[in-house]
Amino acid sequence: MDLYDAIKGRRSIRKFKQTPVAKDLLEKIFDIALWAPSGMNRQNWKLFVLTGERKEELVSICSTSFEYLEPQLQELFAEKPKIVEATRRFFKRLGGAPVVVCAYFEPANTVDVTSYQNVAAVIQNMLLVAHAEGLGTCWMTGPVYVTNQIDRFLGVTNMTLVAIIPLGYPDETPKVPPRRPDRVVYQGF
């Protein structure tokens, strides 16, 4: 798939088919995604890829994060209650995704302005490669509200959770959310 098409055609997917994702396909996706740039080339990301029973347990922990998100959603979408309800449904099972990825970074010894950006670069690569392979994903920070429970479940200590990404074959074709204009300022032309 052409890079431009991958960037523009990728959508956040919130409903997945049950079809499992082959482990060698996942390995291929992460092999490519980890070619992301990182500050001082530290590559201090750490990804946990869960499926089966482990994934089910993780999903039920993540689903509890909706209660922290709900007040913000109610306020933001006061005129659109259907969005709040759709989000509630999505958080319950993470759209039925057969795979869920937890993206972390290991802490730096010095002042750390790069780590979130390092992990974000890997995540975007992962989303694009997954899309090019016919898979769907959704970059989620909502579950970060229950970081402590997720850390404990994974046995993680001393790392920071950046996002949770459900992954699988899409079972929906979402509308294209419009992009805001005037977000780039050109000077000196």
Which residues form the interface with ligand FMN (CB under 6 A)?
11-12, 14, 90, 138-142, 174, 177
Q: Which residue, 42 or 88, is less far from ligand FMN as judged by CB? A: 88
Are β-strands 99-105 and 45-51 bridged in parallel, bridged antiparallel, or unpaired?
A: antiparallel
Q: Which pair of tokens denotes residue 151?
A: 């850390």
Q: Which residue, 98 or 136, is less far from ligand FMN as judged by CB? A: 136
Q: Which pair of tokens denotes residue 145?
A: 């509200």
Shortest reach from residue 153's CB to ligand FMN, in Å: 18
Q: Which pair of tokens denotes residue 5?
A: 């098409």
Q: Determine the Cα–Cα distance for residues 43 and 125; give it in Å rounded to an integer.
A: 14
Q: Which residue, 49 or 146, is less far from ligand FMN as judged by CB? A: 146
Among the listed residues 50, 142, 137, 19, the one whose alpha carbon sits nearest the alpha carbon of residue 92: 142
Q: Which pair of tokens denotes residue 152?
A: 């404990």
Backbone φ, ψ for residue 62 (5° rounding): -60, -35
Q: Which residue, 98 or 143, is less far from ligand FMN as judged by CB? A: 143
Strand ranges across the sheet with 99-105? 45-51, 99-105, 160-168, 136-137
Q: Which residue is nearest to ligand FMN (CB)?
A: 142
Q: Determine the Cα–Cα distance for residues 73 and 27; give it in Å rounded to an integer.
A: 35
Q: Which residue, 155 or 181, is less far from ligand FMN as judged by CB? A: 181
Shortest reach from residue 141's CB to ligand FMN, in Å: 4
Among the listed residues 90, 83, 95, 101, the one whose alpha carbon sits nearest the alpha carbon of residue 30: 101
Shortest reach from residue 56's CB to ligand FMN, in Å: 19
Shortest reach from residue 189's CB to ligand FMN, in Å: 29
Q: Which residue, 20 or 174, is less far from ligand FMN as judged by CB? A: 174
